[in-house]
Structure formats: structure tokens, C-alpha cells
Amino acid sequence: MRNQSLRFAREWARSPLKTGAIFPSGRMLCQLMTSGIGPFTGRIIELGAGTGSITAQLIAKGVEPPNLTVVELNPSFAEHLRRRFPGVNVVNAPAQAIGALVPPGNDPAAGPIGAVISSLPFLSLPDDLVEQVLATSFDLMCPEGGAGGAFTFFTYGLQVPLSPQLLGRLRLNALCMGKAMLNFPPARVFTLRRI
């Protein structure tokens, strides 16, 4: 754990806005982010996995490594994730490119996508990029346009960092799943679902 924190702090010092936090996600935050997830969830996409605290929690909850695709922009984190999680599909790419990287949920060979779990620093990303990530995630999870999987993310802000206009355009409903007060910094977890 100490090693993960040192690695994380080093990457934060290099690129604070893109890294989005000084420390990896703490235990309480990892638990909240993965509540309701299990071996039954099907395929899962994790965006911005960093050093893999949430990835480890997903595997501890019974998610099979081949069902997990982890997308991470920072090549040093991506390399670390490959070594730490054999069998997990680690993609070193921007999250906004996932549409071209992951087969959609109606691909019979690949199977449905039950959840997207995101640690992306939404507050420091441009609005159009956030919208692209959300639109693509729901296109992958709900390829026929109906209801489907859930997109779970956290924010260090007090409210959901998405405008009502954006939620309306993408037909999404946001629900606060709780606060991880012992995380540093404290974080709120939200789940988005298509309505």
C-alpha cells in the first residue's frame, strides 16, 4: 500500500490535473464504488484505474479478470496495472476512445457490460470530454438505447459535477450512493443510469 501511495504521489507531482488526486482511493471509497458489483455483473469497464485500488476490490468481489477492462491514460500506471493484475485487459489509452477499444454489450461473443466504474477527475476535465465519455459508456452498455448498466464515479465536490442539461441530453438520472468521509480528500459516490 505504501508503494502504491509513493507511486501515486510521484505521478501527481508530474501531472496533478490529469492524475486528479494525491493518494490512491482509500478502502471506504473502493467499497462504495463497487457496492452491488459481483461475479453476476458481466463485463466491467474501469476508467482511470491509477494504481488499481478499485481494480483489486472488484477482483476481491468475485469479478473474473477476463471480464475486466481497465483503461488508463498514464503509461507508467498502465504498466504497473499489467504487472499487478495478470489476466485483466489493461488498455493504455484515453477513456474517451473506449468506443473503439471495447466490444459493445450486444456482442454475443463478448457478453453484456453491466457497469462502468470511473475514477476520472471529472472536475478537471473539459465538459465536452466528460460528455463524450458518458455518451460512449452508455452506448456500450445500452447499445439498443434502453436501460442497462450503471456508470459509477466519485467526486471531491459537494454535488454531482454534471449539468442538468447534460443529464437531460443523455437521458441520465444521478443518484448519490454515499460519502467516503475517511477518504483523503473525502469523496461522494454517484451512480448514473439511463431513464
Binding site for ligand SAM (CB under 6 A): 8, 18-21, 24-25, 47-51, 53-54, 71-74, 77, 94-95, 119-121
Nearer to ligand SAM, 51 or 137 (CB): 51
Of 100 and 109, the one with the shorter C-beta distance to ligand SAM is 100
CA distance 128 to 133: 9
* Pure H helices in 15-126: 16-19, 27-33, 53-60, 75-84
Closer Cβ to ligand SAM, 20 or 161, answer by number: 20
Nearer to ligand SAM, 19 or 191 (CB): 19
Give the span between the Cα atoms of 167 and 153, in whole angstroms: 14
Residues in the chain, overall count: 195
- Minimum CB distance to ligand SAM, residue 144 (Å): 26
Q: Cβ closer to ligand SAM: 53 or 191?
A: 53
Q: What is the nearest approach in angstroms of ligand SAM to the Cβ of residue 82?
A: 14
Q: Which residues are bridge partners to 70 per DSSP?
A: 46, 90
Instruction: Report the nearest approach of ligand SAM to the CB of residue 98 (Å).
Output: 9
- In the numeric block, the cell 480528500 is attached to 185
Least CB distance from residue 50 to ligand SAM, whole Å? 2
Contact criterion met (CB below 8 Å) for 147 and 193: yes
Judge residue 15's burial from the number of C-beta atoms within 10 Å of its C-beta, 0-12 exposed, 13-18 middle, 19 or more buried.
Answer: exposed
User: Among residues 94 and 178, whose Cβ is nearest to ligand SAM?
Assistant: 94
* Among 131, 112, 109, 114, CA closest to 122: 131
Nearest position to ligand SAM, beta carbon: 50
Rounded to a whole number of angstroms, the minimum distance from the CB of residue 30 to ligand SAM is 7
Residue 19's CB: how many other CB atoms inside 10 A?
21
| Nearest to 49, CA basis, from 8, 105, 102 | 8
Task: Give the shortest CB-20-to-ligand SAM separation in angstroms.
Answer: 4
